[in-house]
Structure 1
Amino acid sequence: MLFLLGAFIVLLLIVAGSRGFSLLFGLAINLISIVALLILIADGFNVLITTSIISLIILIVAIYMNVENANTANIAFKTSLLIVVIILLITIPLEFWASAQGMGVEDQEELEAFSLAAGVSFPQLAVAIIVVNSLGVISETSVAISSGLNEIILNKPSLTPKEVFADGFSVGNKILSTQTNTLLFNFFASTFPLFFLMNSLNYKFTDIINDKLLVAEILTMLICAMGVILTVPITSYFVYNKALKKSANSINK
């Protein structure tokens, strides 16, 4: 493990150069933030409030420490923050309704020797998992779209705000396929052992689609995918709005 970590650091510094140090520093801060989130939740702090604060820190570090263009960073941050709020509003009632939180029947054997009185709200914990899981793809998609649009505006300053908005959808549609595929592959990678277990135990189709662990993974994937999809119009709107204001200011002058 240490060998792989060392190889990762060396490769990052070779490819990114001196900027690799800032990337490593940002990764270290985010790693500390995730560990702090786990510790605070385990110590009894409110799960949703703690997750919201830690998510804000992660977004600030992930965007502002990795994006040099301030305009791109500001748009990506506003978009990511809004998407996280939307995800919270969708996930909180959905998790309580689906009852997919906590452990599944497949975990019974491993948990027999342990007390289940964890003192943590498992529905809230499931919400926290989905929010943290979505931060990376949302911020990455927003940065990609906003940076692409800013480059287009820089090279074609004569574009109208409507054309900027249309270009945002064009850029976003190209990114959506890769991001949704990434989420899909992550889903299958994390559920491979579960699928093998279901196959060996001859689960019926109704048992499979109602399995708690599988439903939790599907909810995570679908909600994250919805967040990525919503990133396209919201980021495009923010860039469009900025272009509209710039156009209005130039006319007034």
Structure 2
Amino acid sequence: MTDPDTWQIERAVVATWPASTVVRRDGWLLRHCDLLRRRRSNSALRIGPLDDPEAALDAAERFYAERSNPAIVQVSPLDEHSELDTLLAARGYRADAPTTVMRTEREALLQACPVPDFEVVLDTEPGSRWLDAVATVGGRPEPSLDRVPAPVAFATAVHRGVPVGVGMFAVSGGWCGVYGMHTAPAWRRRGVAASLMRAGAGRASAERVFLQVETGNSVARSRYESLGFILAHAYHYRVR
């Protein structure tokens, strides 16, 4: 990858997001997880040269077929893997879930976030309190996030004892990854995300912060831009 930040972020994502099986083979990082059905836990990521792209893709397809999973490839960063993307399209893989990766410096983020308007509770594991809070604000509780390695913080923003927002902050290689940000619909655009960011990223032992947001979610992207996040790179998945 031409941009060292892109490579560092990609490595941090792999380190901070769980998969029960991780295999390095034929230029791929092959990930599989029965407990967590997210695509990033069950997809192939190119991490090296594919000397024979067709054969390498055949091997990846066998890996997922042996696990009764569809073959999914994360094409990331998208602008550096156009040939792979073209090959996948030619083999019938459909493009899915276009995603923008954004980054910032922790100090810049803290300066952009006002003093929290909400109490933020930080847990070191996704216990019942945090999982219940995720459900309360309309998110998707995922108990298997206990596989995320420390240091990690599971954050809950609270108003008068009621959860109004949640997020997860996981650290690796000098980067803090922000995951699962969700605000209760009635509390959006009222500073919940900024409060979570200030508490979670502020506590993290990392100088830089990244997050991933659906490319089509212009409202969320605009909000993160207002907190100082800029474009790092983009990716999408190809699903057979």
Report the TM-score when normalising by structure 1. 0.23
Larger helix share, 1 or 2: 1
TM-score, normalization: structure 2? Answer: 0.24
